[in-house]
Amino acid sequence: MQNSGIMNFTVLTIFPEMFDPFWEHGIVRRAIEQSKIAVSAVNIRDFAEGKHRVTDDRPYGGGTGMIMKPEPLAGAIRDARTKTPSSRTILMTPQGQKLDQHLARKLALLPGLVLVCGRYEGVDERIGHDLIDDEISIGDYVLTGGELPAMVLMDSVTRLLPGTLGGVDASEEDSFSDSLLEHAYYTRPRVFEGAEVPDVLLSGNHGEIEKWRLESSLIRTFLKRKDLLENRRLGKQEIEILKKWCRDIEKILYVQSFHSADTLSGNQ
Ligand code: 4GX
């Protein structure tokens, strides 16, 4: 199912230092230390010519804003591809395919990614012609550069690699991690500002706990993200839970039908 080799991330950016704190913390840091991922941030400016090593220029046709010049970007991409020939080259851009958990899982199977981070108004159109394999967006909002999107992508992919989360692979324990919201979580203390932890979680009955967690996931998804339920193939147990809610709601409404006179007289 999974590529057991090391995942290679190369980011191309004019601000490589932005990635230092990202590499240095948490699960990403541990993945580097455990050689689950290899990372490098390459300065596109190193591939720019001339005394001032300029990476941007004014757009043909006029207008405000600047465009990333093609030559330094092309040099940086070709150099990265020579060093990691099996990598896929991805441009971070609002015009790309939207990143979701399904796409993150597909990317996690690849041996390497070269992530191109644009700044300014974008990159010269001709870069896309044969130097970019895919365009990916992290969402419909406008950022000042592709660096944060590249970090979001690497973060979501890194936690899917075998062994990176520590313990069993909790990342995909949820075979449904893309289509149901997480259940509610509690930790100590048992009573916090008067609010108690549900008894079932203290019962030690793992069957009952799993049932409670599935019901919690379902109710949260139903209340906050109905779209996820509509686009999902429900499991047998999930259907049972939804049917039970249906029956419970119907019972409540059935009792109400005997109070129709109240309703008509304006008693809500
Ligand atoms: N999800 N941005 C990229 C400059 C740019 C524009 C076009 C290449 C082509 C973004 C996002 C995002 C802002 C990163 C514009 N580079 N990227 N940048 N949302 O908003 O990925």
pLDDT reading at 1 higher than 80: no
Q: Are 116 and 132 in contact (CB under 8 A)?
A: yes
**Beta carbons within 10 angstroms of residue 251's beta carbon:** 10
Residues 6+ apart with CB under 8 A from 114: 10, 11, 12, 77, 80, 81, 84, 87, 88, 89, 90
Average pLDDT taken over every residue of the chain: 93
56 and 67 in contact (C-beta within 8 Å)? Answer: yes
Q: What stretches of the chain show up as alpha helix (H) in DSSP? A: 20-23, 26-33, 70-83, 101-107, 127-131, 147-158, 206-224, 226-230, 236-257, 260-264
CA-based torsion, 90, 96, 102, 104: positive or negative? positive
Between 146 and 3, name the one with better pLDDT: 146
For ligand 1, atom 14, name the residue with the nearest CA.
146
- Sequence-distant (6+) residues with CB within 8 A of 90 are 96, 113, 114, 115, 116, 132, 133, 134, 135, 136, 153
Provide the pLDDT confidence category of residue 179 given band limits of 50, 70 and 90.
Answer: confident
Q: Compute the distance between CA of residue 158 and CA of residue 162 in angstroms, rounded to an integer.
A: 9
**pLDDT in the model for residue 166:** 75
Query: Which residue has better confidence, 218 or 179?
Result: 218
- Bridge pairing between strands 88-98 and 67-68: unpaired
- pLDDT, one tens digit per residue, over 130-151 is 999 999 999 999 999 999 999 9
Quick check: CB of 258 below 6 Å from ligand 1? no
How far apart CA 155 and CA 104 sit, in angstroms, is 10
Write down the pLDDT at residue 80.
98
Confidence tier at 177 by pLDDT (50, 70, 90):
low
User: Percent of the chain scored above 90 by pLDDT?
Assistant: 88
Any ligand 1 atom below 6 A from CB of 93: yes
**Annotated catalytic residue 147:** no
Catalytic residue flag (residue 81):
no
Q: How far is the CA of 165 from the centre of ligand 1 (A)?
A: 29
- Report the distance separating Cα 103 and Cα 85, nearest Å: 21
What are 25-71's pLDDT values in tens digits? 999 999 999 999 999 999 999 999 999 999 999 999 999 999 999 99
Q: What is the mean pLDDT of residues 211-235?
A: 95
Percent of the chain predicted with pLDDT > 70: 91
One of 70, 94, 111, 162 is an active-site residue; which one? 94
What distance in angstroms lies between residue 99's CA and the mean position of ligand 1's atoms? 13
Higher model confidence: residue 166 or residue 267? 166
Q: How confident is the model at residue 266 (pLDDT cuts 50, 70, 90)?
A: low
Q: Name the closest-CA residue to atom 1, ligand 1.
A: 137
Confidence of residue 264 (pLDDT cuts 50, 70, 90): low
Is residue 227 pLDDT above 50, yes or no? yes
How close is the Cα of 98 to the center of ligand 1, in Å? Answer: 12
Residues composing the chain: 268
What is the reported pLDDT for 259?
Answer: 87
Residue with tokens 């996820």: 228
